[in-house]
Structure 1
């Protein structure tokens, strides 16, 4: 049985915005699932929905099976028990997630005191061990968040997420705003922790290259739904959906002169979740859209071994694009990172 199964998940905010639409995902022990897409595609909403952290008035349907229990039907007492101990989240922006007036050791110890019924001395000792586990001296437990660098604060957030030995960890943009060297260190740390503790990891990022290097599988989201899923490296290097190809093409390849001098991306922005276009929601921006795409939405269908894509150009039998050229998203733009 998988650690986490998301089945037909739909999230609609109080104002009518359909932020997540019919998402199905699976996370197994020791495996890493990446979720990619532009801002506004529903990635963070999906992460918050997993532990019922969405604001009041939000309508959520479907199933979120965490170790065999549906999070959406749990009583609030059970939800509180599951948070941290069953699943935890590394939030985007460590400085904004940590309490500026409390020492980091106390913040790491807090969930241990609540969920593990430890003594204050035992919780402090565990906090020091967790800091060492993520590459920080235990003595840093007495520091305040502002006394740490960005990379160190991110390590503290990871230590907090691991404090109660959860089965699943959700990392929402864990390396945003970090320099390249620190980003590489954090990614190596995450990979090491997943392997050592047999965690199930969901990693959210706009950076397909990072996800391709870190994760086993990759799901690409657009306008609240998954439009492509498969082995991470294959999706990054040979996306079967035009949107996945656009995301990949937006990042220049080292040594690729063509991408260096003619960076690519997609013009425009994802649609307003409260006013989605008919048919395939990607068709207004799609360079290979057919007339039928404006009327008929496409389900996820087989796109090769272990792969799925929601595109009319994917032949369900052959599992390959039938009408998409080798470079369907070579649309020049002034902003090489417009898809991020």
Structure 2
């Protein structure tokens, strides 16, 4: 059953910057979708647009169907009911997302009091249960954010996202600024909670390996668009778009000395959303670009069973090592 159906979603900030351009995504109940890309490719903007959390003056077009109901057309009262209870978000950077002058237990209890109309005693009991569910003692509800470690704060954010039993959780870089060991713990926690409660998950990251281990399907974004989509492990191990190949190659593979001692990266940065290049927006950085790429934009097209990519090379993916003349 389709839980989330995103159709032709576009987001333009005040000033004309097109951060998201014509994105289509579909997520079934219980499914896990990863969204990958460098900073500036529109991942966080997409996440915020799904629950209309963008600043005033931002123009959003398209449809975001949550259980068949368009979030973008909801009246304010209905939207408030859907947030937390229908879908919730784990924001990037727990220290900045939590209120520094309120105890974490009070912050977890707030949506419970609002949406479930629980008594203060009932909300506190539920808060303790949620903290224990994410691996923290219930007594930590009395702590202030600065009294917790980065990993503990991230667990509090996950507990808050689960507070009203949503069907969809959006996790925006949930392991940002955490060390490797804590990252692994948080990722295992997310996987366990999603599987145990049959939740749908959208996880955003720049790390394809993390998403391949966590998610069922993977969408790669560049310059506000999805340029590749398919089964997560296949996209990570055999990307059909040069950008997906570059993202995958940017991380050395454990146990592979060749990738460790000869890392491959991608020169440059994603384009400014307010000054996008013509044609395929990736062509100025693409090592296998053709002349047509500078003039003709590329739409998603079939690239194998259950896969799609927006590239002229999808019928026979060109290796990254074959650079066009004049590129390096």
Same fold (TM over 0.5): yes
Assess if the C-alpha contact under 8 Å between 1:6 and 1:24 holds in 2: yes
Q: Which residues in structure 2 correspond to 1:49-198 (within 5 Å)?
A: 49-198=49-198
Q: Give, in angstroms, the shift of residue 256 of structure 1.
A: 2.1
Assess if the C-alpha contact under 8 Å between 1:2 and 1:28 holds in 2: yes
- For residue 325 of structure 1, the aligned residue among 304, 313, 319 is 319
Residue 4 (structure 1) aligns with: 4
**Structure 2 CA distance, aligned partners of 1:227 and 1:310?**
5
Unaligned runs of 5+ in 2: 324-328
**Structure 2 CA distance, aligned partners of 1:7 and 1:157?**
29
Assess if the C-alpha contact under 8 Å between 1:4 and 1:67 holds in 2: yes
**Structure 2 CA distance, aligned partners of 1:72 and 1:119?**
32
Assess if the C-alpha contact under 8 Å between 1:223 and 1:281 holds in 2: yes
Residue 214 (structure 2) aligns with: 214
Residue 48 (structure 1) aligns with: 48
Q: Give, in angstroms, the shift of residue 261 of structure 1.
A: 1.9
Residue 292 (structure 1) aligned with residue 292 (structure 2): yes
1:35-82 CA deviation, whole Å, 9 max, x = no partner?
A: 000000000000000000011111111000011100000001111111
2:2 aligns to what SS in structure 1?
Answer: coil
1:123-158 CA deviation, whole Å, 9 max, x = no partner?
A: 011000000111111111111111111111100000
Residue 256 (structure 1) aligns with: 256
TM-score w.r.t. the length of structure 2 is: 0.97
1:265 aligns to what SS in structure 2?
Answer: coil
TM-score w.r.t. the length of structure 1 is: 0.93
**Structure 2 CA distance, aligned partners of 1:228 and 1:181?**
30
Assess if the C-alpha contact under 8 Å between 2:288 and 2:320 holds in 1: no
Assess if the C-alpha contact under 8 Å between 1:243 and 1:286 holds in 2: yes
Assess if the C-alpha contact under 8 Å between 1:242 and 1:328 holds in 2: no
Q: Give, in angstroms, the shift of residue 328 of structure 1.
A: 4.9
> Which 10-residue stretch deviates more, 257-266 or 78-87?
257-266
Assess if the C-alpha contact under 8 Å between 2:90 and 2:172 holds in 1: yes
For the aligned residue pairs, the C-alpha RMSD in angstroms reads 1.0
2:11 aligns to what SS in structure 1?
Answer: strand
1:112 aligns to what SS in structure 2?
Answer: helix
1:257-283 CA deviation, whole Å, 9 max, x = no partner?
A: 222222111111101101111100000
1:77-131 CA deviation, whole Å, 9 max, x = no partner?
A: 1111111011000001111111111111111000000111001110011000000
Assess if the C-alpha contact under 8 Å between 2:98 and 2:145 holds in 1: yes
Number of residue equivalences: 323
Residue 310 (structure 1) aligns with: 310
Q: Which residues in structure 2 correspond to 1:198-277 (within 5 Å)?
A: 198-277=198-277
Unaligned runs of 5+ in 1: 330-340
**Structure 1 CA distance, aligned partners of 2:102 and 2:7?**
39
